Amino acid sequence: MQLSPGAAALEAALARACPGAAPLAVAVSGGGDSLALLLAAAARAEASGPPVAAVTVDHGLRPEAADEARSVAAICARLGVPHSTLVWQGWDGRGNLQDAARRARMRLIADWALARGIGRVALAHTRDDQAETLLMRLARGAGVDGLAAMAPERQALGVTWLRPFLDIPRADLRAFLTERGQTWADDPSNDDPRFDRVRVRQALALLAPLGIGAEGLAATAARLGAARTALDACTAEAAARIAVEEAGDVVLDEAARAALPAEIGRRLLLGALAWVSGADYPPRAEALAATLARLETAPRTTLQGCLLVRKAGRLRIGREPAAVVGLSAPLDALWDGRWRLAGPATGGEEVRALGEAGLALCPDWRATGLPRSSLLASPAVWRGGALVAAPLAGRGTDWSATVNRPFRTRLLSH
Ligand SMILES: Nc1ncnc2c1ncn2[C@@H]1O[C@H](COP(=O)(O)OP(=O)(O)OP(=O)(O)O)[C@@H](O)[C@H]1O
């Protein structure tokens, strides 16, 4: 088939963003953008490109969603692309529904891909998405991090997420579909002005006479992305000089932190909170400011499941013992999102916090030099009510407890 210039650009973008022969998954909602991704990936596979598999998540939030998933499955069958529909088991009522749905979708898709030995998943975000996101974030007073462009490639949840169409206008994707005689379902909420994104789309049309358009906004977002990368690198460099990792805690030299540019000091602290707590979101700016103000007069305070202790010119950010009470994980899984325990298991062990009861069984804990609070929140191996090992508190020397990734990489992982 002779390709129009738009279609050729789209297939070239896909080839650039997803090189090589390794299998590729495409996440297809049934909307126009992701259908264009599916068709382009299928055409490439047919022309001896990487094999492709498609996945649709039915969030169960709209009655039409199951039909949309079935229609994606039918298109995939026609294209000869294997397709799976994953069903979200529902919202636990925490946080914001849209956000919870997006997170659940990413996790379902990542687990599905990993189970099939697929290490990369393509999403169909376009240049228009990039511009709309920038405008929505401006409305919320975002800073560099919020305004920075989505990355064309990102590692998360064990897979590589690719966005091959970030530089391509949405209209080009729709033209590609029309050219191929492929219709698409428009999510009815795409016209519902109760949604921020819909109002932003309408506003963008009004901004055109001022010369403000998706192309310029996306370019601004890309520049802010470069600025964010530079700030991350400066923060990691500061961490290398003034922060040490100690038994899963971050310990900062306070005088050196005070001498940093305020923004770098703030990022360092936020990075430590994120690494220790595993929280997806930073605390609100006001909560962080209030915590720092409290630390001026009190030696210890808590924020986001972390305990901050100021002592002898050092600030220690560790896990708050109360935040991990009752948290348990099997030995082969991460505990508290980051700890891995290994040792001579005989069966029936699980990982839980050491806690008061466990620490009482570790008479030599003081010899470790670690604060009591850090040990209370540290991982221990239990068999029923019996303590098997508490590696950080000096009990069970044939067991080890390690954090799955260093603090520094957390600082660089936007
Ligand atoms: N329910 C879903 N199942 C599988 N993938 C999805 C789903 N929803 C979104 N995606 C993927 O995430 C990308 C971005 O999601 P977003 O919600 O911004 O898109 P959308 O408005 O649904 O776009 P599209 O027109 O591509 O379907 C989509 O382009 C698609 O690749």
Q: Would you state the pLDDT for residue 411?
A: 86
- Compute the average pLDDT of residues 102-117: 95
Q: Are 270 and 410 in contact (CB under 8 A)?
A: no
Confidence bin at 2 (pLDDT 50/70/90): low
Q: Would you state the pLDDT for residue 255?
A: 96
Which pair of tokens denotes residue 69? Answer: 């998933």
Kindly state if the Cβ of 291 falls inside 6 Å of ligand 1.
Answer: no
CA 139, chain centre distance (Å): 22
Strand order in the sheet with 306-311: 243-246, 249-253, 314-319, 306-311, 300-303
Q: Would you state the pLDDT for residue 46?
A: 93
- Compute the average pLDDT of residues 61-82: 92
Helix (H) or strand (E) holding 221: helix 214-242
Q: Are 14 and 164 in contact (CB under 8 A)?
A: yes
Tell me whether residue 328 is annotated as binding: no
CA dihedral 29→150→97→188, nearest 10 degrees, is -40
Nearest residue by C-alpha to atom 21 in ligand 1: 31
**Residues paired with 120 in a beta bridge:** 160
- Compute the average pLDDT of residues 319-324: 98
The length of the chain in residues reads 414
Q: Would you state the pLDDT for residue 195?
A: 81
pLDDT in tens, 287-301: 999 998 999 899 999
More confident residue, 4 or 217: 217
For tokens 């492709």, the residue is: 52
Confidence bin at 1 (pLDDT 50/70/90): low
Instruction: Evaluate whether 5-216 and 221-321 have a shared fold.
Output: no
Nearest residue by C-alpha to atom 12 in ligand 1: 123
Q: Ligand 1 centre from 28 Cα, in Å?
A: 6
In terms of CATH architecture, what is 221-321?
2-Layer Sandwich (3.30)
How many other CB atoms sit within 10 Å of the CB of residue 107?
16
To test ligand 1's pocket by mutation, which of 29, 58, 127 has the most ligand atoms within 8 angstroms of CB?
29
Q: Which atom of ligand 1 is nearest to the CA of 34?
A: 26
Tell me whether residue 32 is annotated as binding: yes
Confidence bin at 62 (pLDDT 50/70/90): confident
Kindly state if the Cβ of 38 falls inside 6 Å of ligand 1.
Answer: no
Q: Among 5-19, 64-78, 140-154, 189-203, which is the least confidently predicted range?
A: 189-203
Kindly state if the Cβ of 128 falls inside 6 Å of ligand 1.
Answer: no
Q: Who's near 200: CB < 8 A, 6+ residues apart?
A: 132, 135, 136, 139
Q: Ligand 1 centre from 163 Cα, in Å?
A: 11
Give the SS3 label for residue 353.
strand
The yes-or-no verdict on residue 383 having pLDDT over 80 is yes
Q: Would you state the pLDDT for residue 280?
A: 79
ipTM field? 0.93
Q: Would you state the pLDDT for residue 410?
A: 83
Kindly state if the Cβ of 32 falls inside 6 Å of ligand 1.
Answer: yes
Q: Cα–Cα distance between 55 and 114 in angstroms, integer?
A: 13
pLDDT in tens, 135-189: 999 988 889 999 999 999 999 899 999 999 999 999 999 999 999 999 987 776 6
- pTM of the complete model: 0.83
Q: Among 23-27, 194-198, 235-239, which is the least confidently predicted range?
A: 194-198
Which pair of tokens denotes residue 206? Answer: 């009004």
DSSP secondary structure, 111-156, as one string: HHHHHTT--EEE----HHHHHHHHHHHHHTT--HHHHSPPPSEEEE
Kindly state if the Cβ of 278 falls inside 6 Å of ligand 1.
Answer: no
More confident residue, 366 or 94: 366
Kindly state if the Cβ of 349 falls inside 6 Å of ligand 1.
Answer: no
**Residues paired with 300 in a beta bridge:** 309
Q: Cα–Cα distance between 88 and 103 in angstroms, integer?
A: 11
Kindly state if the Cβ of 164 falls inside 6 Å of ligand 1.
Answer: no
The yes-or-no verdict on residue 282 having pLDDT over 90 is no
Nearest residue by C-alpha to atom 2 in ligand 1: 29
Strands (E), 20-117: 24-27, 52-58, 83-87
Kindly give the pairing relationship between strand 83-87 and strand 306-311: unpaired
Tell me whether residue 265 is annotated as binding: no
Q: Would you state the pLDDT for residue 185?
A: 78
User: For the stretch 353-386, what's the b/e string if a residue is b when 16 or more beta carbons lie within 10 angstroms of its beta carbon?
Assistant: bbbeebbeebeebeebebbebbbbbbbbbbeeee
Q: Ligand 1 centre from 166 Cα, in Å?
A: 13
Tell me whether residue 95 is annotated as binding: no
- Compute the average pLDDT of residues 50-60: 95
**Does domain 5-216 sit in CATH 3.40.30.10?**
no
Q: Are 395 and 387 in contact (CB under 8 A)?
A: yes
CA distances from 287 to 161, 293, 295, 322 (A): 32, 10, 12, 19
More confident residue, 314 or 66: 314
Its sign, for the CA torsion 88, 93, 97, 99, is: negative
Nearest residue by C-alpha to atom 18 in ligand 1: 125
Burial class (CB in 10 A: 0-12, 13-18, 19+), 19: exposed
Q: Would you state the pLDDT for residue 273?
A: 97
pLDDT in tens, 197-211: 889 988 998 999 999
Measuring CA to CA, which residue among 147, 164, 162 is closest to residue 221?
A: 147
More confident residue, 152 or 280: 152
Kindly state if the Cβ of 172 falls inside 6 Å of ligand 1.
Answer: no
Backbone angles phi, psi at 128, to 5 degrees: -65, -40
Q: Which atom of ligand 1 is nearest to the CA of 36?
A: 26
Its sign, for the CA torsion 258, 262, 264, 270, is: positive
Q: Which atom of ligand 1 is nearest to the CA of 122?
A: 31
Confidence bin at 5 (pLDDT 50/70/90): confident
In the chain, where the domains are located: 5-216, 221-321, 323-408
**Residues paired with 153 in a beta bridge:** 162
Q: Ligand 1 centre from 360 Cα, in Å?
A: 52
| Percent share of the chain, pLDDT over 90 | 79
What mean pLDDT is reported for the chain?
A: 93
Amino acid at 324: V
Q: Would you state the pLDDT for residue 136?
A: 92
Q: Are 301 and 291 in contact (CB under 8 A)?
A: yes
Q: Would you state the pLDDT for residue 91?
A: 72
Q: Would you state the pLDDT for residue 100?
A: 85
Q: Cα–Cα distance between 232 and 240 in angstroms, integer?
A: 12
Nearest residue by C-alpha to atom 7 in ligand 1: 29
Q: Among 93-97, 140-144, 246-250, which is the least confidently predicted range?
A: 93-97
Q: Who's near 92: CB < 8 A, 6+ residues apart?
A: 100
